[in-house]
Amino acid sequence: MDRWAAEHTAIVTGANHGISAAVAVVLGRRGCSVLCTFLRIEHPADPGMPQSYRDQHRQDASAVVHQIAGEGGKATAIEADLSDPTTSAALFEAAEQHFGPVDILVNNATGWVKDTFTPKDRDQIGRPLLPVSPSTWRQEFTVTPWPRPR
């Protein structure tokens, strides 16, 4: 455990799988208290999306929390739709209630959409692509839990 990290609280978005889960575990291992956020997503069958990826998106962050706790760290998980403007304040409130003031934010959640700026209407494996639009832009970029003003 790292003495510096033990004095910190982190929020890690998208922490139910992948890079975010790994970052949450490392922060917990180093002594940070970690609020792991996740949003379960049900993807339709897609030949270009591995089943394991679809399965990871359907799970919560309990395995990550258990791993952090099993290594002596402190963590909790909250399902959160980051496109809802009220969510970020609720996440900071929850983290502060559980662990104290938040001073680390790992904003790695995504609202990815199969869209493109190119004139193509299909990707390299034949999946349909949408043109970038205000709607697809909002879905992709409104998953940001900006810290609330103090």
Q: Confidence band (pLDDT; 50, 70, 90) for 132?
A: confident
The reported pLDDT for the residue numbered 23 is: 97
Tokens of 47: 């030949």
Kindly report, residue by residue over 7-48, the tens digit of the pLDDT: 899 999 999 988 999 999 999 999 999 999 998 776 567 666
Of 5-9, 53-57, 105-109, 128-132, the range with the lowest mean pLDDT is 53-57
The reported pLDDT for the residue numbered 149 is: 43
Residue 65: partners with Cβ closer than 8 Å, 6 or more residues away: 36, 75, 76, 77
CA–CA separation, 57 and 62 (whole Å)? 13
Kindly report, residue by residue over 38-89, the tens digit of the pLDDT: 987 765 676 666 667 666 666 889 999 999 999 999 999 999 988 788 888 9
The reported pLDDT for the residue numbered 150 is: 43
Residue 61: partners with Cβ closer than 8 Å, 6 or more residues away: 15, 16, 21, 24, 36, 37, 38, 77
Identify the structural domains of the chain with CATH numbers, from first to last.
Answer: 5-109 (3.40.50.720)
Q: Confidence band (pLDDT; 50, 70, 90) for 148?
A: very low
Mean pLDDT of 94-106: 95
The reported pLDDT for the residue numbered 116 is: 73
This prediction's pTM: 0.76
Which string of DSSP letters, residue by residue, matches the chain? Answer: --TTGGG-EEEETTTTSHHHHHHHHHHHHHT-EEEEEE----PPP-TTS-HHHHHHHHS-SHHHHHHHHHTT-EEEEEE--TTSTTHHHHHHHHHHHHTS---EEE-------SEESSS-SB-TTS-B-EEP-HHHHHHHHS---PPPP-
- With contact defined as beta carbons under 8 Å apart, do 67 and 34 qualify? no
The reported pLDDT for the residue numbered 142 is: 65
Q: What does the CA dihedral 56, 28, 38, 18 come to, rounded to 10 degrees?
A: -30
The reported pLDDT for the residue numbered 88 is: 87
Higher pLDDT, 137 or 129: 129
